[in-house]
């Protein structure tokens, strides 16, 4: 099962989207993360934090290292930035992280929900069964 939680507020202007810019983009970030939203329940922060000490859950922080250093991260969470997550999940990758052993519930989190949504979508694409 995949869980996600948002610790920050979502954008409210322009129906939740930033102002449009003059360029053609094949797949916007909204297009990338939206397909997985109905299949993945959002988890309020207090419920997610109750899972921190559970041996059956793994917290994954997809923010970059600078943001993690500045703002901290959930104790025991695995740091796996959005750019390296695919390598950490893939058991064939030399950078595979054994924390992604597919036998746990994965909780992705970030400041606003965008990176955790993207990380969750990637994990779904990689057939991680319990997010």
Domain ranges of the chain: 2-7+28-125
Q: How far is CA 90 from CA 37, 79, 96, 130, in A?
A: 22, 15, 6, 15
pLDDT confidence of residue 2? 47
Exposed, middle or buried by CB within 10 Å (0-12, 13-18, 19+), for 119?
Answer: buried
- Taking only the tens place, the pLDDT of each residue in 45-70 is 888 888 888 888 888 888 888 888 89
CATH of 2-7+28-125, one of 3.40.250.10, 3.20.10.10, 1.25.10.10, 3.30.1300.10: 3.40.250.10
- Taking only the tens place, the pLDDT of each residue in 80-124 is 887 888 898 888 889 988 888 777 888 888 877 777 777 887 887
Q: DSSP letter at 11?
A: P
Q: Which residue has the higher pLDDT, 33 or 108?
A: 108
């Amino acid at each position: 099962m995949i869980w996600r939680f948002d610790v920050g507020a979502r954008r409210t202007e322009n129906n939740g989207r930033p102002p449009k810019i003059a360029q053609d983009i094949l797949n916007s970030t909204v297009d990338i993360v939206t397909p997985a939203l109905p299949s993945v329940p959002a988890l309020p922060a207090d419920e997610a934090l109750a899972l921190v000490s559970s041996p059956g859950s793994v917290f994954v922080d997809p923010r970059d290292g600078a943001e993690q250093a500045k703002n901290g991260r959930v104790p025991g969470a695995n740091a796996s930035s959005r750019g390296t997550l695919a390598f950490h999940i893939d058991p064939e990758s030399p950078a595979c992280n054994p924390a992604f052993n597919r036998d746990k519930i994965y909780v992705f989190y970030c400041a606003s929900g965008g990176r955790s949504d993207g990380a969750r979508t990637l994990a779904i694409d990689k057939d991680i069964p319990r997010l």
